[in-house]
Copies of this chain bind each other. A is one copy, B any other.
Amino acid sequence: MAANRNTIIRLSKYKSALFRLKALGFVKVFSDNLGDAIGVAPTQVRKDFSLFGISGSKRGGYQIEQLIENLNALLGKNQTEKAILAGIGNIGAALLHYKGFEKEGIKIVAGFDIDPSKYSKEAPTPILPLSEMGDFIKEHGIKIGIIAVPEIAAQIVLNAMVTSGIKGILNFAPLQLKSSNDVIINNINIELELENVIYHVNAMSTTEGVKSN
């Protein structure tokens, strides 16, 4: 009934699809089109919108422009969201330079690491000692943290973030992090996702007759 994780993920997907449609010059859209675009049933689309009080017109579908505005308001994309990043290793450095965040209104305002050779206080996005992270979070009122430190350090970094006021975390360390339930943690475990692909590929080739080879 409520706004569960999958519902929100779908809202974000609708928004991406709407931007693409808008870029193509479309002005209105039907639940049918939008369903096709993100691979769900049209009823699902209408149900999702109705859940958040977004309505279209009975015969004319939804106005794309207005729908985007509604979704932006809902997803909190009307102001830029500041985030910090802990761990400037492989993944961390990639995230730091990742272009995709900007268009979603997300800005990584600082990175933190324990390795002094990584520090660069004058960079556009400064890299600072991990020991300064807590103060930085408090001083700038940051709510969102990204964890890209090694597995062994992840829980400690998490605790430091939460203690200083972080409320939402995207975690790339390959373990299930735990915290009190007034903190949102979203775990992205790349190994696990790849392992999952491999499983399904192998399962497929054994179940449904081996092809070619």
Contact = CB atoms under 8 A, between A and B. Distances in A.
Interface of A: 3, 5, 8-9, 12-13, 16, 38-39, 74-77, 81, 83, 90-91, 93-95, 97-101, 103-104, 106, 141, 143-144, 146, 165, 167-170, 174-176, 178, 182, 184, 186, 188, 190-205, 208, 211-213
Nearest to A200: B184
A45 to B, nearest CB: 14
B90 A198 contact: no
A200 B184 CA distance: 7
Nearest to A98: B90
Contacts of A213: 141
21 contacts: A3-B203, A8-B196, A8-B200, A12-B196, A16-B175, A94-B94, A95-B190, A100-B174, A101-B194, A104-B195, A106-B191, A144-B201, A146-B194, A165-B212, A167-B204, A168-B197, A170-B193, A170-B194, A182-B204, A184-B201, A186-B196
Contacts of A175: 16
A38 B176 contact: yes
A83 B97 CA distance: 25
A201 B39 contact: no
B76 A202 contact: yes
A176 B91 CA distance: 22
A170 B95 CA distance: 18
Contact of A100 (B77, B146, B190, B212): B190
Contact of A81 (B13, B190, B198): B198
Contacts of A201: 143-144, 167-168, 184
The winner among A97, A100, A198, A211 for most chain B CB atoms within 10 A is A198
